[in-house]
Structure 1
Amino acid sequence: MTLSIKTNILSHAGMFIIFLIYSSFSDAACQENNVYIKPTISELQFASSAAGKGGMLSSAWHEATIQLSCTDMPTGVGAQYVYNYFMKPTYAGSSTSFEGQNYALWSTSDPDIFIIASIAKPDGSFSSITSSEFDKTIKISKPDANKNIQEPIRVRIRYLSTKSSLKPGLKVINEIPLLVGVVSGSGVACTARPGGLTDCYSRVSPVVISPASFNVNRVSCTLDAPALVKLRPLNISSLPSAGATVEVASFQLGASCNKSPVAYNVYYSMTDVNTPSNTSNNLTLAALPDQASGVALQVLDDGKAVSFGFKGSLNSIGMMATTGGIKRKMLNVVYIRGNEMVKPGKVNAGVTVTLAYE
């Protein structure tokens, strides 16, 4: 009889314990308030100077923290918890490399502008989100003695353009739902995956990127150079053999530029007026009735002959500060003797100068 009574009590106690565990899972909950990534103007400095070249528009990561705050979480010895996340933007179908990691490109409301995203791992380092990571997990800490989980998960994004030429003007990026997530644990049913996250263990804060707007400005510089450079007279004896050079003039080349959110390099290139296709170091002399022959003109930049033609012939004037201003460089003009006999006469040549920025 005593044995029979003990068996009944143990059976009843077992049922009671199972009921408590079920109740604990049912009452467990995590917060559901939206978390916003709010890009600032100071974090979008690159965007203002992106006209004509595209590339990275964010000068810093735009970041927010999901503060997991879950209560009444089961604390069994084998309890394991993870944060599952699912990306919401449209995958653009391509990727890019940045800071040594590969990132998926996600579409925005502007067809020329995309975002890349990463999420922090438990060790604090960030892992890029790639196109294959539509549903991934991050292991999180176990509940404390009060059955609570308090854990931050950092998420960050950057804007960029894959266009080699981004048109100037105001860019407005609408609000972007970035990701949604759930906390799930071992032994807890999560019957639906990304398409039905409401059926999972506990939803947590969706991450949303707030609307952002910025101006893409075209860098503006004005060329400062003389319209005419006079060459001093020269005696043929000053050029005794082929390849000999003599300086006959010097002039300043400058660029006057407006303010910019970021510093940038100012470059120039020169094109031969008489032969625009010329890519050598020697200018073509204009055809004149009493034209000299056997010599050519070169423009020297720090002692090096300038190559003509735009492609592959950019030369630096200097780095322009964000305040703008004027940068100048002194150039020299020399005669150079060719292999043929030198014939005295007049010399006339010309260049057009193009400014470029980076």
Structure 2
Amino acid sequence: MQNACNTIMEKIMKTNISVLFISMCYSSVSSAAAYDLLLDIQPIVYSAPENSVNIGGSLTGRWDIQKNQSMFCSYNPGIDLETISAVQAASGYNTIFESVSYDVFNTTQTGIGWIMGGKDGGASGSWTPLLASGETQVFPFPGGLPSYPQPGANIRLAYIRLPGVLNAGKFTLPAQDIAKVKCYNNKTLIETATIRTAAVVMTINARSCRIQTGDQTLQMGTLTRQDFSGLAIGQNIEPGNTATLNLSCDKDVIPFVTISDNNNTANESNVISLSSPTATTTAKGVAYQVFYNNQRQSLGPKSADKGTLNQFPVGQVTTADNQAVPIALQFKYLKTDETVAPGDVNASVTLTFSYQ
């Protein structure tokens, strides 16, 4: 049987009403007034492997700013409903941060989003997330007064890792309005305050690797049915053929890889399906499997995200810049049926690298 297994490499960088506890201080006010909040975030520097932060994780591992606003609106006889709503586009992603579920919003940079939460201006209360749609009720809160002239809150924001390439370099996220605080009395909108961010300088020093080897076609050789006759179903023909790949990596990086079936991207088994974009398969009763360090590897999605299903390391942490990292993958025939029919055996996989 004649066969070619094409190993293709590519680097893919891939509601409900909530309640917010508000602290209050009384002041006699006879007219409406709104008090905007500016989040002036300090410069952010990200120096880590490109995929070391999980999707949905904080770039810095913490909240990037927290501010107390003593009041957003002021009105006598009082505010009986205060809500907050987003004015920026949501990313479609959700993340759990400090046990609270947050909707993630887009920035102007790929791979970077943000989340925002608020809570009682004092020490009590729990954090309430800014939601992607609708107005989130922030006042009144359970056990509090039914109305008050000057409700305020703590507000905090963090930048979050989203799918996509982290572009290395220094750039500025522009100043923008991110949320509106609306104050009501007897269902009438009295005033609207704005929460906005100042321009934020970010420096991305993402460490990664460069693929030194191009696409490969691995010739698996010609076999006969007799070669499979002594094998039980599920056994491989040894030793198989090796595809050697090379990376050049920055210091302090651990390269990982996910192997994906190009014929069936949902394939999460350890058997590569027989077909490829450029060649058909006519043989029966056989398949291919891939091994790394003599360990059979299962297939996964084309994603560089940390923690991708069936992702595995292909080296130790690098100790120098431009360090060469060779990778040897063994591809072996697998007997899948007692009856083996002759013909061509073709398959195609993609390798997606992740740098952690």
TM-score by length of structure 2 reads 0.49
Higher relative contact order (CA 8 A, sep 6+): 2
TM-score by length of structure 1 reads 0.48
> Which structure's residues are more often helix, by fraction?
1
